[in-house]
Amino acid sequence: MSKIIEGLYYSESHEYVRVEGEFGYIGITDHAQHELGNVVYVDMPEVDDEVTAGEDFGAVESTKAASDLICPVSGTVVEVNEALEDEPGLINKDAFENWIIKVQLSDKGELDNLMDAAGYKAMIGE
């Protein structure tokens, strides 16, 4: 059974947002890393790039598949998790600890379109 953390926002395409003030930390869920298997590459945007809710901002490649990362919220990238460049497998170790990008949120209202922990849990059927 996958780990789901209370207080985060979840998307249907298995990304999460952890909100801290004006910023959102975006990554993929524990369920997603489990389904993907060993992650071997994370394609990330650059700092200052604009990201848009519903559009892709990168991709995760595992030994099984390559999947687009769909941004759950809009904003400006203020930081990327550079540790993933050398060690993409960190996502498998702890998907919630190892976020992929940190975004300055442009519209906090978009968070209302996302699921809470209970909603996400119901969606993945656990």
Partner 1 sequence: MNNVYYGKLIFELSREGRRGYSLPKNEMSDYKLESLPGTLLRSAAPGLPECDELTVVRHYTNMSNNNFGVDTGFYPLGSCTMKYNPKINEDMASHPSFSGLHPLQSIDTVQGALEVYDRVQESLAELAGMKEFTLNPFAGAHGELTGLMVMRSYHMSRGDVKRTKVIVPDSAHGTNPASAAVCGLDVVVVKSRPDGTVDVDDLRPLLDDTIAGMMMTNPNTLGIFEHSIGEIAKLVHECGGLMYYDGANLNPMLGKVRPGDIGFDIMHINLHKTFSTPHGGGGPGSGPVGVRAGLEQFLPSPHVVRKDIDADSYRYDVEFGNDSLGSISGFLGNFAVMMRAYTYILSLGHENVKMVGPLATLNANYIKESLKDVYELPLEGVCKHEFVFDGLKDKSTGVTTLDVAKRLLDYGFHAPTIYFPLLFHEALMIEPCETESKETLDAFIAVMRKIAQEAKEQPEMVKSAPHHTPVRRLDDTQAALKPIVTYAELSSMVD
Q: Parallel, antiparallel, or unpaired: how do β-strands 23-28 and 15-20 relate?
A: antiparallel
Measured over the CA atoms of residue 117, residue 118, residue 121 and residue 126, the dihedral's sign is positive
The footprint of partner 1 on residues 19-48 (CB under 8 A) is: 35, 38, 40-41
Closest CA to 34 of 9, 3, 73: 3
Judged by CB under 8 A, the stretch of 4-12, 62-70, 76-84, 101-109 that binds partner 1 is 62-70
Q: Give Rg (Cα) of the chain.
A: 13
Q: Which of 19/40 has CB closer to partner 1?
A: 40
Q: Which of 45/88 has CB closer to partner 1?
A: 88
Q: Answer whether 7's CB lies under 8 Å from 117's CB.
A: yes
Question: Applying CB under 8 A, which of residues 6, 21, 48, 63 lies at the interface with partner 1?
Answer: 63
Judged by CB under 8 A, the stretch of 4-12, 63-71, 76-84, 104-112 that binds partner 1 is 63-71
Closest CA to 24 of 103, 112, 99: 103
Q: Which of 64/108 has CB closer to partner 1?
A: 64
Minimum distance from residue 65 beta carbon to partner 1 (Å): 6
Judged by CB under 8 A, the stretch of 25-33, 56-64, 77-85, 103-111 that binds partner 1 is 56-64
The footprint of partner 1 on residues 74-113 (CB under 8 A) is: 88-89
